[in-house]
Structure 1
Amino acid sequence: MKVVFYSFTGNVRRFLKRTELEDLYEITEANASDKVEEPFILVTGTIGFGEVPAPVEQFLKTNQAGLKGVAASGNRNWGNNFAKAGVIISQAYDVPLLMKFELHGTLKDTMEFKEKVVNFDEIYEREVLQSHRVK
């Protein structure tokens, strides 16, 4: 699965580099309105007081249909606003919040994220199917 990311300070970029995932697409100011033609998982940092970065908001206006899940970076010093961009996006677009990690994450965070991306369809599509059966 493609991983689309925005890295304001470089933390998200460092995190994803350690995953060794190959299908990456970085959101920049210049390409924030470009169309991505395949499903993707979004990874973003959180800015300000728990806000979604403007280039990410712009990107999602064009590409919301392909969004399958989100992960977010943040700093625990911000308390309840830690990695809040992921929570906001997850709720606004009704996709799973795969994880929150601090700054550029730990090795354990990196391995957990990679496993979730590689096995996304198996893990999350099954949950969706099961939740529909329960209703």
Structure 2
Amino acid sequence: MKGIIRLLLLVAALTTFCGMASAQNSRQRLTREQLAEVQAKHIAKEMAMDDATSQRFIDTFCQFQREIWALGPRPKQSHRQMTDEETEQVLKARFAHSRKILDLRQKYYGIYSEFLTQKQIQRVYELERQMMERLSKRSKRTNR
């Protein structure tokens, strides 16, 4: 009889523990679009933008992010031995990708200039960089 009670207590404890563990893992991740909107709202709030400017900034920031994502991922660096021709192709692909990103940044700088001051634009870039560094650090910690 004592063995059965112990077994039932063990099963109850394991069930409780497994339930808590799965609840921690089921925390929903934001989609890229949701994350971009959260970032834009944070920047707008941090800079104390009025409602109209804030909404325009959020829309513009999210559109910029969508265009960046449309470029696809940055070409990977290969860690294998490559010929000079293969290395040249990889480098040129990375340069082309970087140029496309720069072109988009310049395009959106022009759009931001329509409704933000130059100091505000600089602050937007600083806040965006800080957030990306924070997300990068968080990602490195969770991937260990």
The answer to which structure has the higher helix fraction is 2
- The normalised TM-score by structure 2 is 0.22
The answer to which structure has the higher strand fraction is 1
Between structure 1 and structure 2, the one with the greater Rg is: 2
